[in-house]
Chains A and B, each alone.
Chain A
């Protein structure tokens, strides 16, 4: 009896971790790509909020989750484009511009979203992967999820391969390591950076739309509730590696869930402590990698946050 219960609890935890980790994973991957190109975009929270309201509006109008997520990605990419024009072409301070985008996104999404507050979106039934989701034990937990969960994992794989194994990925990394050298080699540094930033925005947009359309089907001001910041903490935690972003996203997503499930079965644990765990873990990892020059050299983009103007 007890074992069956434990199995059921574990199964629920796995399923919940997968769905809670997905927005963090999507946003984290996008931010990884634009940081690898040497640009820090602190506007993740704002882009996610804008995408959340755009995705929700589209889902309400069309009833299609595909269109909603695509619209969210587009909204995120557009917001990132705005950031990119300022930070990359006008050489504004990346951190300040990113913060501005984060505030703008919060305010603008609230303004645009007024009419969508307290509107109801039907939750989409989960079909999952046929056959696999009928497997015993963890079959349903692992395979009866929204397709966006698998899209995020696929994206992680593709980005990992792209960055480490492809020529284009090498070019992108070169732009992040040493824009001067990349420029000397004839790479269009600023265009590569802008493309990477827009990709990052699109991923954050997917994450935001996932939250408002699939995870908690509703729109309320500020509903992203700090997940953009956790995604930003993910990239240093993952030492700028796609595979470790996956681990970090599920870890951070899982930790927040675990505290609720522990509380519900009566294990007493300080929820305030658990809430700060993601940030604590990131600081710890940063402290660790800063003591290890090899790790930093290999993965942290050397020109992260530094603007670049060709010909200077």
Chain B
């Protein structure tokens, strides 16, 4: 009893001291508070969090996302405050990071890889005041939407170059994992080449990895040994263009400009630029208009481009690529226009029919002209 009383007394004394101290301080702080009030006329910056699957120095996928984050900072200045967490593995562990970012007061969160889909969705359903942007996925919620880029447009354009530049009429693709996106790119590449050179065929080597310079190189060498003289890759390192450089063949950069890795072999690079989309998303979050959508951006929105065209390309080829690029941008040219037939000659898209996004998402087959079978 006495014990409890004295403890209470002690607490009261401490509290009194604290109040007294705070009272003393408050006069000095008054000025500061005034200054703060002046600042507070401007609203607090929008806090934006980014979650990356790799390190920002990977020279590929994550590097491109981080460049877009910097572009957002430059565009919106002190209206936004961005932060990022790098090298977050896909899967359940990412949930902790998503929750951390929410806890730190971020109101807009970008998750930049497919494997965050489930965890982001879970957190999104619990924290309604925060908006989530998920790359390359297909699930969404009231406060979560998806974004992706139409990489096949770049693949088609470099295909046009490949069709013009090949002498053996054999093209090669070093491919990663047989998912619709990659199959779509192989098909677009082949269609692009066939549009200028009906004799071309494409051979694919699957390495079952997104990133393994050694395997990418060996896949490229195997293709060149079989006579392929222009290569495209749907993998992440620069090993393919380097291998082509050594063997005196041609190749294209992928995701970022790879021209300096292969001065002789490099014909052009198909790149992704996330900045236009990130600016749009942030602008909508700041100024209103943000709603659940599935954004799939391409050349038209500036998310995809073909850059660093080699001096080896004849002027007419450059002009043709430019014309197709403009055509895709203004809608006068369509890549997926029927008739498109698969390897067995089965009509997958009827004559003059234009493919919808749904159709493109379901591509699990090769167009005629690609050799070999799709891996099971």
Contact = CB atoms under 8 A, between A and B. Distances in A.
A216 B205 CA distance: 18
Given A221-B57, A264-B222, A266-B371, A256 B215 contact: yes
A216 B223 contact: no
A218 interface: yes
Nearest to A217: B242
Contacts of A218: 213, 237-239, 242, 261
A162 interface: no
A273 to B, nearest CB: 10
A227 B209 CA distance: 14
A70 B137 CA distance: 46
A264 B54 CA distance: 30
Nearest to B258: A118
B218 A20 contact: yes
B225 interface: yes
Contacts of A266: 203, 371-372
Interface in A270-304: 270-272, 275
Nearest to B228: A264
B202 to A, nearest CB: 11
B226 interface: yes
Contacts of A216: 213-214, 216-217, 237, 239, 242
Interface string B189-226: 00000000000000111111101111111110111011
Given A218-B261, A261-B222, A271-B207, 12 more contacts: A9-B225, A117-B58, A120-B260, A215-B217, A216-B237, A220-B237, A223-B237, A256-B218, A260-B205, A261-B225, A263-B203, A264-B222
Contacts of A227: 214
A266 B201 CA distance: 12
Interface in B257-316: 260-261
Interface of A: 8-9, 12, 16, 20, 110, 113-114, 117-118, 120, 123, 211, 215-218, 220-223, 225-227, 256-257, 260-261, 263-266, 268, 270-272, 275
Interface of B: 54-55, 57-59, 172, 203-209, 211-219, 221-223, 225-226, 228, 237-239, 242, 246, 260-261, 371-373, 375-376
A118 B375 CA distance: 32
B226 A264 contact: yes
B279 to A, nearest CB: 25
Contact of A110 (B55, B226, B373): B55
A146 to B, nearest CB: 13
A184 to B, nearest CB: 46
Contacts of A270: 375-376
Nearest to A222: B211
A20 B261 CA distance: 22
A216 B237 CA distance: 10
Contacts of B208: 271-272, 275
Most chain-A CB neighbours within 10 Å: which of B54, B261, B376? B261
B205 A264 contact: yes
Contacts of A9: 225
A264 B203 contact: yes
A216 B59 CA distance: 16
B307 to A, nearest CB: 16
B213 A223 contact: yes
Given A216-B242, A264-B172, A271-B208, A114 B57 contact: yes
A220 B214 contact: no
Contacts of B228: 264
Contacts of A225: 209, 211-215
Contacts of A256: 215, 218
B59 A117 contact: yes
6 contacts: A110-B55, A216-B213, A227-B214, A260-B219, A260-B221, A271-B375
B131 to A, nearest CB: 31
A257 B239 CA distance: 15
A139 B180 CA distance: 43
Contact of B59 (A118, A215, A263, A265): A118
A257 B222 contact: yes
Contacts of B213: 216, 218, 220, 223, 225
Contacts of A110: 55, 57
